[in-house]
């Protein structure tokens, strides 16, 4: 995945905004970092002059501007109404993250992006708001709001992806579902959510980089790419299953940690909702997996035209991380 050289400055200011936001000792400094981060991402969306990119950039700007206005205005209340101020700041950060019940904008923006921007929006753009959320985990009221938002994100993320044929929308609802696990982890400990975030980012990187090289955006576009080797189809299928958290792939390891921790904390109701939602997400991942399995059989493939994009020799290197759970099942020793 690559961008034009002229946009390196926007990558630099994007990372700089995140660093300023998470290292600032004041709410105003955190707001400045978030604004710099937002204004750096918008030019990366509109690299190509396209109506879809422009629409996504406009939607992203309006939502982020609304959440930033709520953030800075709520911080002024901290001098008199500290708890109310923290609650409003918390809601503004949830809006920035695209967490339920403020998730409505996330799939719509994601649908108009290219795969590199999809990865940035799902990972780097969520880093600063989640770290700021972890700073606010000092009150039982905020922890309860976190649990409610995480359960809602799990349900909306699982149900929203059931009826879509667009891969970017599928990844968007998957990101909302994974965000529910990370919100629970934020309320428990910083180490847990950072570990989950790292594993999720690496898995998503392997998926988005592969789909970007294929230029596949829908299930039908996957079918039109040409014949797939059985080995490459197996790799792509295992990666989507790893993203869904199916054992024994790598994506199951952070979920297994969270299951054990939530059971020790007696969070049985949120755990049941998160597990059931993960099963629903596996359903719409299986539709992609079945597509790759069918196309690996030349008899079932109606598009017999050769296409070099379907023979991606860098695919094993990209997908190797997803098999670490198979090769090194360290979670079995934690039972």
List pLDDT tens digits, range 215-274: 888 877 776 665 456 667 777 888 888 898 888 888 888 999 899 999 999 999 999 999
For residue 166, list its beta bridge partners: 218
Count of H helices and E strands in the chain?
16, 0
pLDDT category of residue 179 using cuts at 50, 70 and 90: very high
The dihedrals phi and psi of 24, each to the nearest 5 degrees, come to: -75, 140
pLDDT category of residue 58 using cuts at 50, 70 and 90: very high
What is the three-class DSSP state of 218?
A: strand
Mean pLDDT (the chain, rounded): 84
Asked if residue 106 lies in contact with residue 178, where contact means CB atoms within 8 angstroms, the answer is no
pLDDT digits (tens, 9 = 90+) for 140-152: 899 999 999 999 9
pLDDT of residue 224: 67
**Per-residue DSSP letter, 104:** T
As for how many domains the chain has, the answer is 1
pLDDT category of residue 195 using cuts at 50, 70 and 90: very high
Cis before 248? omega within 30: yes
pLDDT digits (tens, 9 = 90+) for 67-126: 999 999 998 887 788 889 999 999 999 999 999 889 899 999 998 898 999 999 999 999
Instruction: Kindly state the tokens that stand for 104.
Output: 């409505």
- Which structural domain range is residue 88 located in? 5-334
Burial of 121 (0-12, 13-18, 19+ CB in 10 A): buried
pLDDT digits (tens, 9 = 90+) for 272-329: 999 999 999 988 888 888 877 776 665 555 544 444 444 555 666 667 777 776 666 5
pLDDT digits (tens, 9 = 90+) for 214-223: 888 887 777 6
Asked if residue 261 lies in contact with residue 192, where contact means CB atoms within 8 angstroms, the answer is yes
What is the three-class DSSP state of 166?
A: strand
pLDDT digits (tens, 9 = 90+) for 130-176: 999 999 888 889 999 999 999 999 999 999 888 888 889 999 999 99
**Per-residue DSSP letter, 314:** T
80-86 LR contacts (CB < 8 Å, sep 24+): 83/139, 83/141, 86/136, 86/139, 86/142
């Amino acid at each position: 995945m690559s961008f034009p050289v002229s946009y390196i400055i926007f990558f630099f200011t994007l990372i700089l905004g995140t660093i300023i936001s998470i290292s600032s000792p004041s709410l105003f400094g955190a707001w400045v970092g978030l604004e710099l981060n937002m204004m750096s991402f918008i030019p990366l969306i509109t690299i190509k002059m396209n109506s879809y990119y422009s629409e996504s950039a406009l939607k992203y700007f309006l939502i982020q501007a609304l959440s930033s206005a709520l953030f800075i205005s709520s911080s002024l209340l901290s001098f008199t109404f500290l708890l109310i101020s923290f609650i409003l700041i918390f809601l503004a950060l949830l809006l920035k993250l695209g967490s339920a019940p403020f998730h409505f904008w996330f799939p719509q923006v994601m649908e108009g992006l290219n795969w590199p921007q999809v990865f940035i929006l799902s990972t780097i753009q969520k880093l600063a708001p989640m770290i700021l959320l972890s700073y606010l985990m000092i009150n039982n009221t905020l922890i309860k709001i976190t649990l409610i938002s995480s359960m809602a994100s799990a349900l909306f993320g699982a149900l929203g992806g059931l009826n879509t044929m667009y891969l970017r929308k599928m990844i968007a609802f998957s990101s909302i579902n994974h965000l529910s696990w990370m919100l629970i982890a934020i309320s428990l400990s910083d180490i847990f959510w950072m570990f989950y975030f790292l594993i999720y980012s690496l898995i998503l990187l392997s998926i988005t980089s592969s789909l970007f090289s294929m230029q596949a955006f829908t299930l039908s576009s996957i079918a039109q790419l040409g014949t797939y080797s059985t080995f490459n189809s197996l790799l792509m299928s295992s990666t989507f299953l790893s993203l869904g958290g199916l054992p024994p792939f790598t994506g199951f390891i952070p979920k297994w940690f969270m299951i054990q921790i939530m059971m020790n904390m007696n969070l049985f109701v949120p755990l049941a909702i998160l597990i059931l939602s993960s099963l629903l997400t596996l359903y719409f991942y299986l539709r992609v997996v079945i597509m790759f399995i069918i196309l690996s059989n030349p008899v079932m493939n109606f598009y017999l035209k050769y296409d070099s994009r379907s023979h991606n020799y860098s695919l094993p290197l990209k997908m190797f991380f997803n098999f670490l759970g198979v090769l090194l099942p360290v979670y079995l020793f934690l039972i």
